[in-house]
Chain A
Amino acid sequence: MKIDIILCGVGGMGALSSAAIISKAALSMGMYMKQAETHGMSQRGGDVQSHLRLSDQPIASDLIPEGECDIILSVEPMEALRYLPFLNRETGWIITNQNPFVNIPNYPDLDAVLGEVKKIKNHILFDADAIAKEVNNPIGTNMVVLGAASKYLRIDIEKLEDAVRSIFGKKGDAVVDANISALRAGRAVADKM
């Protein structure tokens, strides 16, 4: 079993935290993993991405080969499109928040962006911000998207919850609980589809 994931967004939106949670969960399941991420200059409001590879066999490359990514998981719809050359044409999923993060003057027409996402056969396009607000965790959008993706990650949601506990434990129970409810609310969306 092997699963290749690209997590993406804009610096500060939590894409790298989601990557850390999946990694932790995968490691606790004894899987091999490699995770390459963007640091440095791009983190200042630019596009950020993480290549996360999980397998029950040793993994060679830190980067996912083009055309082989199983899931693009994004907290922003246009950013999801940036990595389409990596997506597996037959079986790949795009799972993304539908609300744009507009910090550039030339952000394209939103309907056109969403239209491009919908062109991909396997997609979950939803208002993750609204769901995050519903569970009283307005900054938990990345957790909601991760929850929705968990259905296709082949990692038990309990393992992801354990990883959230372990990573956010230092910040107190309230933070842990808020993130776990966002995670579960996201999963509920995917389950209903």
Chain B
Amino acid sequence: MDKLLLLGDEAIAQGAIDAGLSGVFAYPGTPSTEITEYIQDSKQAKELGIRSNWAANEKTAMEAALGMSYAGKRAMFCCKHVGINVAADPFMNSAITGANGGLIYIAADDPSMHSSQDEQDSRFYGDFALIPVLEPSNQQEAYDMVHYGFELSEKFHVPVMMRITTRMAHSRAGVVRKESVKNQNKITLPEKKNQFILLPANARVQYRELLAKQEGLIAASENDGFNKYIDGKDKSIGIVACGISYNYLMENFRDSECPYPVLKISQYPMPEKLLNKLYDECETILVLEEGQPLYERLIKGLLNKGKQVKGRLDGSIPRTGELSPNLVGKALGMNVKEGFPVPELLAPRPPKLCDGCPHIDSYTALNEAMKSYGEYKVFADIGCYTLGALPPLKAIYTTVDMGASITMAKGAAEADLRPTVAVIGDSTFTHSGMTGLLDCVVDNVPVTVMILDNGITGMTGSQKSSATGRIESICQGIGVDPEHIRVINPLPSKLEENIKVIQEELEYQGVSVIIPRRECIVWANKKRKMAKKAK
């Protein structure tokens, strides 16, 4: 087969299609979005009838993937790291039920927080749930690992996590496909009728079974080839290189052989025998992890009474942020090259709302309406409109997690802060805002919720929003008084009337919803281009 030029995300997607995938389930989130998009756009996936629509959120997506696995077919779930938090309930419990058809959970972490609110390391979740984690170091490995992951999942009847990071997700390289495409599984129901019934009596049995699988999973990590022990003559340092940190290590030895023994890790649980060998033979250990110092801490042990273990905890490598070839070289005490310093005059260029973006008009009206009430009263959410925090708008005071605008505004109102406003996008509202709105209605708390409806999931690049065409009926169904569901058109020409509507609802001592509705400008342009192309 030809070499394809694929992003890490795309390599995973093509790998899944070729490995007999029956469905992908996901909510968009950088840097994971392109996996699902690739499958949605793939002609091959269409012909194979692979399901790929976006889900309302990560929890619904993961549960649906688990349901497909229950029916015996191969399913994949994809999200960004914080999406695993949303799906944590099915994540932890599906480790206890185990899988039937092959089940892979992709978690795309974002160290250095290029597009995220934290840099949590999803490998902790894998360790926590006692399921295997695969961490590819290059695009070819990512492609191959999807095949392997499905087989591992079906062999041990466990979900398998694949953890990637931004540089893996959004870096392109040549990938060679497998010769043949695996057929999809037929419906095969679980052998044990109570496998998926987590009544305490069953769950205790299942949990013991999960623990019993660990030995086999460690043996797979030792023997299946993704973890490699590469010996070296200089035993002063033994290096554990996880995921793409292996590449940064090898970049430092481009023109010579690495003199130190290296344990390349791309599969967890840790291969204990190989790790023991490295620890026994070397004087010190350097642990390279793209993310948080999970295995550095475990290898070091709480009491730190063994050999010197270097990494992020002792400052050999910075405690936060991505790794790079230079950081790894410095940790090895090598002379690394330097370029020129950045000139002092350089100004940062943060992202901003696009020219013509409807959110600008929504915030302009809101800022005017809020003038008499003072600062600290607008709670916002995750999406393009988070950029409303930056000058010149400076309109919002919180951004924490998907849906938190409504519930934080509610809690602050219950602390007698008046008025409180929640600002949330249409897609974020159906992701995690609806239940919070229900809480507001049930407690009849005076909160003004602005649902910015631009008809699309904008920040991640125009994915279909589950909210489109449903917002008013959802709000009514939840119990918001229809007289206090107000739709406005966020345009500069409508500024005065929009300010008036917001002011009226701020005065209302109950739950009100204002829906500024105008299409995302990027999406509108994309649609125009697609229409032109279709002609």
Stretch at the interface among B11-19, B342-350, B360-368: B342-350
Assess the B347–A44 pair: CB atoms within 8 A.
no
Assess the A39–B251 pair: CB atoms within 8 A.
no
Residues 94-123 of A, flagged 1 when their CB comes within 8 A of B and 0 if not, give 000000000111111100110010001000
Q: Provided the pairs A34-B171, A41-B459, A84-B343 are in contact, do residues A67 and B336 lie with their beta carbons within 8 angstroms?
A: yes
Cα distance A89–B329 when bound, in Å? 19
Give chain A nearest CB distance to B201 CB in angstroms. Answer: 46
Assess the B173–A33 pair: CB atoms within 8 A.
yes
Assess the A104–B351 pair: CB atoms within 8 A.
no
Residue of B nearest to A37 (CB): B170
| A38 touches which of B34, B114, B342 (Cβ 8 Å) | B114
Assess the B5–A24 pair: CB atoms within 8 A.
yes
Is residue A62 within 8 Å, beta carbon to beta carbon, of the partner chain?
yes
Residues 249-263 of B, flagged 1 when their CB comes within 8 A of A and 0 if not, give 111101000000000
Which residues on the A side are within 8 Å of B353 (C-beta)?
44-45
Is residue B337 within 8 Å, beta carbon to beta carbon, of the partner chain?
yes
Q: In A35-86, which residues have CB < 8 Å from any B CB?
A: 35-47, 59-63, 65-69, 78-79, 81-82, 84-86
Q: Provided the pairs A10-B349, A42-B114 are in contact, do residues A37 and B343 lie with their beta carbons within 8 angstroms?
A: no
Which residues on the A side are within 8 Å of B114 (C-beta)?
38, 40-42
Is residue A88 within 8 Å, beta carbon to beta carbon, of the partner chain?
yes
Is residue A29 within 8 Å, beta carbon to beta carbon, of the partner chain?
no
Which residues on the A side are within 8 Å of B252 (C-beta)?
65
| A69 touches which of B115, B173, B339, B347 (Cβ 8 Å) | B339
Assess the B325–A61 pair: CB atoms within 8 A.
yes
Assess the A84–B349 pair: CB atoms within 8 A.
no
Is residue B424 within 8 Å, beta carbon to beta carbon, of the partner chain?
no
| A85 touches which of B31, B168, B338 (Cβ 8 Å) | B338
Is residue A141 within 8 Å, beta carbon to beta carbon, of the partner chain?
no
Give chain A nearest CB distance to B109 CB in angstroms. Answer: 13
Is residue B460 within 8 Å, beta carbon to beta carbon, of the partner chain?
yes
Assess the A35–B345 pair: CB atoms within 8 A.
no
Residues of B within 8 Å of A, CB-based: how many?
52
Cα distance A87–B339 when bound, in Å? 5
Which residues on the B side are within 8 Å of A92 (C-beta)?
339
Is residue A27 within 8 Å, beta carbon to beta carbon, of the partner chain?
yes
Cα distance A107–B350 when bound, in Å? 12
Cα distance A68–B339 when bound, in Å? 7
Q: Provided the pairs A38-B114, A109-B345 are in contact, do residues A66 and B336 lie with their beta carbons within 8 angstroms?
A: yes
Residues 355-396 of B, flagged 1 when their CB comes within 8 A of A and 0 if not, give 000000000000000000000000000001001000100000
Cα distance A33–B7 when bound, in Å? 12
Cα distance A87–B338 when bound, in Å? 8
Is residue B172 within 8 Å, beta carbon to beta carbon, of the partner chain?
yes
Cα distance A43–B350 when bound, in Å? 10
Is residue B354 within 8 Å, beta carbon to beta carbon, of the partner chain?
yes
Is residue B208 within 8 Å, beta carbon to beta carbon, of the partner chain?
no
Q: Provided the pairs A63-B325, A78-B347 are in contact, do residues A40 and B171 lie with their beta carbons within 8 angstroms?
A: no
Cα distance A120–B342 when bound, in Å? 12
Cα distance A85–B172 when bound, in Å? 23
Residue of B nearest to A19 (CB): B172
| A45 touches which of B34, B171, B329, B352 (Cβ 8 Å) | B352
Cα distance A85–B173 when bound, in Å? 24
| A67 touches which of B248, B339, B342, B533 (Cβ 8 Å) | B339
Assess the B347–A61 pair: CB atoms within 8 A.
no
Assess the A84–B251 pair: CB atoms within 8 A.
no
Give chain B nearest CB distance to A92 CB in angstroms. Answer: 7
Assess the B174–A65 pair: CB atoms within 8 A.
no
Which residues on the B side are within 8 Å of A23 (C-beta)?
5, 172
Which residues on the A side are within 8 Å of B435 (C-beta)?
none
Residues 304-343 of B, flagged 1 when their CB comes within 8 A of A and 0 if not, give 0000000000000000000011100100000011111111
Assess the A66–B349 pair: CB atoms within 8 A.
no
Most chain-B CB neighbours within 10 Å: which of A40, A42, A170? A40
Q: Provided the pairs A66-B339, A78-B347, A103-B349 are in contact, do residues A34 and B324 lie with their beta carbons within 8 angstroms?
A: no
Is residue A32 within 8 Å, beta carbon to beta carbon, of the partner chain?
yes
Q: Provided the pairs A39-B31, A65-B337, A84-B340 are in contact, do residues A116 and B345 lie with their beta carbons within 8 angstroms?
A: yes
Give chain B nearest CB distance to A156 CB in angstroms. Answer: 19
Is residue B448 within 8 Å, beta carbon to beta carbon, of the partner chain?
no
Give chain A nearest CB distance to B433 CB in angstroms. Answer: 20
Assess the B339–A88 pair: CB atoms within 8 A.
yes
Which residues on the B side are within 8 Å of A66 (C-beta)?
324-326, 336-339
Assess the A62–B384 pair: CB atoms within 8 A.
no
Residue of A nearest to B173 (CB): A34
Is residue B535 within 8 Å, beta carbon to beta carbon, of the partner chain?
no
Give chain B nearest CB distance to A20 CB in angstroms. Answer: 9
Which residues on the B side are within 8 Å of A87 (C-beta)?
339-340
Assess the A60–B347 pair: CB atoms within 8 A.
no
Is residue B122 within 8 Å, beta carbon to beta carbon, of the partner chain?
no
Give chain A nearest CB distance to B41 CB in angstroms. Answer: 14
Give chain A nearest CB distance to B347 CB in angstroms. Answer: 5
Cα distance A59–B140 when bound, in Å? 13
Assess the B167–A63 pair: CB atoms within 8 A.
yes
| B167 touches which of A10, A24, A36, A67 (Cβ 8 Å) | A36
Assess the B351–A62 pair: CB atoms within 8 A.
no
Cα distance A120–B326 when bound, in Å? 22
Assess the A85–B341 pair: CB atoms within 8 A.
yes
Give chain B nearest CB distance to A187 CB in angstroms. Answer: 24
Residue of B nearest to A101 (CB): B349
Is residue B30 within 8 Å, beta carbon to beta carbon, of the partner chain?
yes
Q: Provided the pairs A46-B351, A67-B337, A87-B339 are in contact, do residues A61 and B247 lie with their beta carbons within 8 angstroms?
A: yes
**11 A-B residue pairs with CB within 8 Å:** A10-B349, A35-B172, A36-B171, A41-B115, A61-B248, A61-B251, A65-B337, A82-B346, A104-B349, A108-B345, A112-B345
Partner-A contacts on B (CB < 8 A): 3, 5, 30-31, 33-34, 114-115, 167-168, 170-174, 244, 247-252, 254, 324-326, 329, 336-343, 345-354, 384, 387, 391, 459-461, 533
Beyond A44-B387, A47-B348, A59-B173, list 11 extra A-B contacts (CB 8 Å): A23-B5, A39-B461, A42-B115, A61-B250, A65-B329, A66-B339, A78-B347, A81-B346, A86-B339, A87-B340, A88-B337
6 interchain residue pairs of minimum CB distance? A67-B337, A40-B30, A40-B115, A46-B351, A61-B251, A60-B250
